Protein backbone atom coordinates (compact mmCIF):
# COMPACT_ATOMS: atom_id res chain seq x y z
CA UNK A 1 0.00 0.00 0.00
CA UNK A 2 2.99 2.30 0.46
CA UNK A 3 3.32 2.93 -3.27
CA UNK A 4 -0.39 3.69 -3.58
CA UNK A 5 -0.22 6.07 -0.62
CA UNK A 6 2.70 7.92 -2.19
CA UNK A 7 0.89 8.25 -5.51
CA UNK A 8 -2.26 9.52 -3.80
CA UNK A 9 -0.31 12.03 -1.72
CA UNK A 10 1.47 13.41 -4.78
CA UNK A 11 -1.81 13.56 -6.71
CA UNK A 12 -3.59 15.39 -3.90
CA UNK A 13 -0.81 18.00 -3.67
CA UNK A 14 -0.74 18.36 -7.45
CA UNK A 15 -4.51 18.83 -7.58
CA UNK A 16 -4.28 21.53 -4.92
CA UNK A 17 -1.64 23.43 -6.91
CA UNK A 18 -3.66 23.04 -10.12
CA UNK A 19 -6.74 24.33 -8.31
CA UNK A 20 -4.80 27.35 -7.04
CA UNK A 21 -3.26 28.03 -10.45
CA UNK A 22 -6.67 27.95 -12.15
CA UNK A 23 -8.06 30.26 -9.46
CA UNK A 24 -5.21 32.77 -9.96
CA UNK A 25 -5.70 32.74 -13.74
CA UNK A 26 -9.44 33.24 -13.20
CA UNK A 27 -8.58 36.50 -11.42
CA UNK A 28 -5.78 37.71 -13.66
CA UNK A 29 -6.85 36.86 -17.21
CA UNK A 30 -7.23 39.89 -19.52
CA UNK A 31 -7.85 40.46 -23.21
CA UNK A 32 -10.65 40.22 -25.76
CA UNK A 33 -11.69 36.77 -24.49
CA UNK A 34 -11.78 37.84 -20.86
CA UNK A 35 -15.41 36.96 -20.15
CA UNK A 36 -15.24 33.47 -21.68
CA UNK A 37 -11.92 32.58 -20.02
CA UNK A 38 -12.87 34.14 -16.68
CA UNK A 39 -16.01 31.98 -16.67
CA UNK A 40 -14.25 28.84 -17.92
CA UNK A 41 -11.47 29.06 -15.33
CA UNK A 42 -14.03 29.85 -12.64
CA UNK A 43 -16.09 26.75 -13.40
CA UNK A 44 -12.98 24.58 -13.39
CA UNK A 45 -11.49 25.80 -10.11
CA UNK A 46 -14.89 25.47 -8.39
CA UNK A 47 -15.07 21.85 -9.57
CA UNK A 48 -11.51 21.20 -8.38
CA UNK A 49 -12.29 22.60 -4.94
CA UNK A 50 -14.86 19.83 -4.49
CA UNK A 51 -12.47 17.26 -5.95
CA UNK A 52 -9.79 18.13 -3.40
CA UNK A 53 -12.24 17.60 -0.57
CA UNK A 54 -13.45 14.29 -1.99
CA UNK A 55 -9.96 12.96 -2.64
CA UNK A 56 -8.61 14.06 0.75
CA UNK A 57 -11.52 12.52 2.65
CA UNK A 58 -10.92 9.26 0.77
CA UNK A 59 -7.27 9.38 1.80
CA UNK A 60 -8.38 9.77 5.41
CA UNK A 61 -10.64 6.76 4.95
CA UNK A 62 -7.58 4.78 3.87
CA UNK A 63 -5.78 5.88 7.04
CA UNK A 64 -3.53 8.39 5.30
CA UNK A 65 -2.61 11.81 6.64
CA UNK A 66 -2.66 14.37 3.81
CA UNK A 67 0.07 16.98 3.38
CA UNK A 68 -0.87 19.81 5.72
CA UNK A 69 1.41 22.77 4.89
CA UNK A 70 1.45 24.88 1.74
CA UNK A 71 5.22 24.73 1.47
CA UNK A 72 5.10 20.94 1.53
CA UNK A 73 2.22 20.88 -0.97
CA UNK A 74 4.28 22.90 -3.44
CA UNK A 75 7.33 20.71 -2.80
CA UNK A 76 5.44 17.46 -3.38
CA UNK A 77 3.34 18.65 -6.33
CA UNK A 78 4.17 17.55 -9.85
CA UNK A 79 2.32 20.61 -11.18
CA UNK A 80 4.10 23.96 -11.42
CA UNK A 81 2.64 27.02 -9.72
CA UNK A 82 0.92 29.81 -11.63
CA UNK A 83 2.98 32.31 -13.57
CA UNK A 84 2.62 35.87 -12.27
CA UNK A 85 2.84 37.49 -15.71
CA UNK A 86 1.19 35.05 -18.12
CA UNK A 87 -0.82 36.18 -21.13
CA UNK A 88 -4.23 34.64 -21.79
CA UNK A 89 -2.65 32.34 -24.39
CA UNK A 90 0.04 31.27 -21.93
CA UNK A 91 -2.58 30.59 -19.26
CA UNK A 92 -4.49 28.34 -21.65
CA UNK A 93 -1.42 26.36 -22.68
CA UNK A 94 -0.23 26.11 -19.06
CA UNK A 95 -3.56 24.81 -17.79
CA UNK A 96 -3.87 22.46 -20.75
CA UNK A 97 -0.49 20.86 -20.02
CA UNK A 98 -1.18 20.73 -16.27
CA UNK A 99 -4.52 18.97 -16.75
CA UNK A 100 -2.97 16.47 -19.16
CA UNK A 101 -0.21 15.80 -16.62
CA UNK A 102 -2.77 15.35 -13.86
CA UNK A 103 -4.69 12.82 -15.95
CA UNK A 104 -1.42 10.90 -16.33
CA UNK A 105 -0.96 10.89 -12.55
CA UNK A 106 -4.50 9.61 -12.09
CA UNK A 107 -3.84 6.80 -14.55
CA UNK A 108 -0.89 5.62 -12.43
CA UNK A 109 -2.97 5.81 -9.24
CA UNK A 110 -5.76 3.83 -10.92
CA UNK A 111 -3.36 1.13 -12.08
CA UNK A 112 -1.81 0.74 -8.63
CA UNK A 113 -5.22 0.79 -6.93
CA UNK A 114 -6.31 -2.06 -9.21
CA UNK A 115 -3.21 -4.02 -8.25
CA UNK A 116 -4.00 -3.46 -4.57
CA UNK A 117 -7.70 -4.31 -5.12
CA UNK A 118 -8.68 -0.88 -3.82
CA UNK A 119 -11.67 -0.56 -6.10
CA UNK A 120 -13.21 2.46 -4.35
CA UNK A 121 -9.96 4.31 -5.01
CA UNK A 122 -10.04 3.18 -8.62
CA UNK A 123 -13.57 4.49 -9.08
CA UNK A 124 -12.69 7.81 -7.49
CA UNK A 125 -9.61 8.49 -9.58
CA UNK A 126 -11.41 7.44 -12.76
CA UNK A 127 -14.05 10.06 -11.99
CA UNK A 128 -11.27 12.63 -11.66
CA UNK A 129 -9.70 11.47 -14.92
CA UNK A 130 -13.02 11.90 -16.71
CA UNK A 131 -13.53 15.39 -15.26
CA UNK A 132 -10.04 16.59 -16.16
CA UNK A 133 -10.27 14.94 -19.56
CA UNK A 134 -13.24 17.23 -20.16
CA UNK A 135 -11.15 20.19 -18.96
CA UNK A 136 -8.46 19.21 -21.46
CA UNK A 137 -11.03 19.12 -24.26
CA UNK A 138 -12.38 22.56 -23.35
CA UNK A 139 -8.96 24.17 -22.98
CA UNK A 140 -7.68 22.59 -26.19
CA UNK A 141 -10.78 23.71 -28.11
CA UNK A 142 -10.28 27.27 -26.90
CA UNK A 143 -6.56 27.19 -27.73
CA UNK A 144 -6.92 25.95 -31.30
CA UNK A 145 -7.07 28.62 -33.96
CA UNK A 146 -9.33 28.18 -37.01
CA UNK A 147 -7.65 27.17 -40.25
CA UNK A 148 -6.74 29.77 -42.84
CA UNK A 149 -9.70 28.71 -44.97
CA UNK A 150 -12.10 29.13 -42.05
CA UNK A 151 -10.61 32.55 -41.23
CA UNK A 152 -11.04 33.65 -44.87
CA UNK A 153 -14.65 32.44 -44.84
CA UNK A 154 -15.38 34.36 -41.63
CA UNK A 155 -13.82 37.50 -43.12
CA UNK A 156 -15.85 37.11 -46.33
CA UNK A 157 -19.11 36.70 -44.39
CA UNK A 158 -18.32 39.76 -42.27
CA UNK A 159 -17.59 41.82 -45.41
CA UNK A 160 -20.84 40.69 -47.05
CA UNK A 161 -22.80 41.56 -43.90
CA UNK A 162 -21.15 44.98 -43.72
CA UNK A 163 -21.92 45.70 -47.39
CA UNK A 164 -25.52 44.59 -46.87
CA UNK A 165 -25.91 46.96 -43.92
CA UNK A 166 -24.53 49.86 -46.00
CA UNK A 167 -26.95 49.12 -48.83
CA UNK A 168 -29.91 48.93 -46.45
CA UNK A 169 -28.92 52.26 -44.89
CA UNK A 170 -28.61 53.91 -48.29
CA UNK A 171 -31.99 52.54 -49.34
CA UNK A 172 -33.55 53.85 -46.17
CA UNK A 173 -32.07 57.30 -46.81
CA UNK A 174 -33.55 57.33 -50.32
CA UNK A 175 -37.00 56.53 -48.95
CA UNK A 176 -37.03 59.48 -46.53
CA UNK A 177 -38.90 62.44 -48.17
CA UNK A 178 -36.83 65.52 -48.94
CA UNK A 179 -37.88 68.80 -47.33
CA UNK A 180 -37.47 72.01 -49.37
CA UNK A 181 -36.09 75.11 -47.70
CA UNK A 182 -37.06 74.56 -44.08
CA UNK A 183 -35.68 72.86 -40.97
CA UNK A 184 -38.82 71.06 -39.86
CA UNK A 185 -39.40 67.31 -39.56
CA UNK A 186 -39.46 65.99 -43.16
CA UNK A 187 -42.07 63.41 -42.21
CA UNK A 188 -44.53 66.14 -41.10
CA UNK A 189 -43.60 69.07 -43.31
CA UNK A 190 -46.00 70.13 -46.06
CA UNK A 191 -43.08 71.17 -48.28
CA UNK A 192 -41.80 67.63 -48.92
CA UNK A 193 -41.63 66.07 -52.35
CA UNK A 194 -44.52 63.77 -51.45
CA UNK A 195 -46.92 66.58 -50.52
CA UNK A 196 -45.72 68.85 -53.34
CA UNK A 197 -46.70 66.23 -55.89
CA UNK A 198 -50.20 66.30 -54.48
Considering the domain architecture, whether residues 110 and 17 belong to the same structural domain is answered as: yes
Give the model confidence (pLDDT) of 69-106 as tens digits: 999 999 999 999 998 888 999 999 999 999 999 999 99
pLDDT-derived band at 195, boundaries 50, 70, 90: very low
In which domain, by residue range, is 173 found?
Answer: 149-197
Would residue 154 be called left, alpha or beta, if left means φ above 0 and alpha means ψ between -120 and 50 degrees?
alpha
Considering the domain architecture, whether residues 137 and 66 belong to the same structural domain is answered as: yes
Question: Last residue of some domain: 144, 170, 188?
Answer: 144
Considering the domain architecture, whether residues 67 and 96 belong to the same structural domain is answered as: yes
Considering the domain architecture, whether residues 112 and 23 belong to the same structural domain is answered as: yes
Considering the domain architecture, whether residues 45 and 130 belong to the same structural domain is answered as: yes
Considering the domain architecture, whether residues 22 and 86 belong to the same structural domain is answered as: yes
Structural domains counted in the chain = 2
Give the model confidence (pLDDT) of 108-140 as tens digits: 999 999 999 999 999 999 999 999 999 999 999
Considering the domain architecture, whether residues 162 and 128 belong to the same structural domain is answered as: no
pLDDT-derived band at 5, boundaries 50, 70, 90: very high
Burial of 145 (0-12, 13-18, 19+ CB in 10 A): exposed
Question: Last residue of some domain: 144, 164, 183?
Answer: 144
pLDDT-derived band at 182, boundaries 50, 70, 90: low
Considering the domain architecture, whether residues 57 and 126 belong to the same structural domain is answered as: yes
Report whether pLDDT(8) > 60.
Answer: yes
Give the model confidence (pLDDT) of 14-66 as tens digits: 999 999 999 999 999 999 999 999 999 999 999 999 999 999 999 999 999 98
Considering the domain architecture, whether residues 180 and 95 belong to the same structural domain is answered as: no
Considering the domain architecture, whether residues 174 and 109 belong to the same structural domain is answered as: no
Considering the domain architecture, whether residues 139 and 159 belong to the same structural domain is answered as: no
Residue-level pLDDT at 103: 93
Q: What is the CATH number of the domain that holds 61?
A: 1.20.1260.10
How far is the C-alpha of 52 from the C-alpha of 47, rounded, in Å? 9
In sequence order, the 6+-apart residues with CB closer than 8 A to the CB of 113 are 4, 119, 121, 122, 125
Residue-level pLDDT at 150: 46
How far is the C-alpha of 143 from the C-alpha of 4, rounded, in Å? 34
Considering the domain architecture, whether residues 162 and 66 belong to the same structural domain is answered as: no
Cross-strand partners of 179: 192
Taking the whole predicted model, whether its pTM rises above 0.85 is answered as no
pLDDT-derived band at 158, boundaries 50, 70, 90: low
Question: Last residue of some domain: 144, 161, 183?
Answer: 144
Amino acid sequence: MEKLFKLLSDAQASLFVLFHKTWIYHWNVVGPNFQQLHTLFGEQYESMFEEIDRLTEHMRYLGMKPVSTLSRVVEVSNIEQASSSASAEKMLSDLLKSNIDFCGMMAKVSEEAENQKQYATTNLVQDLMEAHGKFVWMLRSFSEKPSKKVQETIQFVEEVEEEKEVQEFQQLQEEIPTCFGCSCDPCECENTENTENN
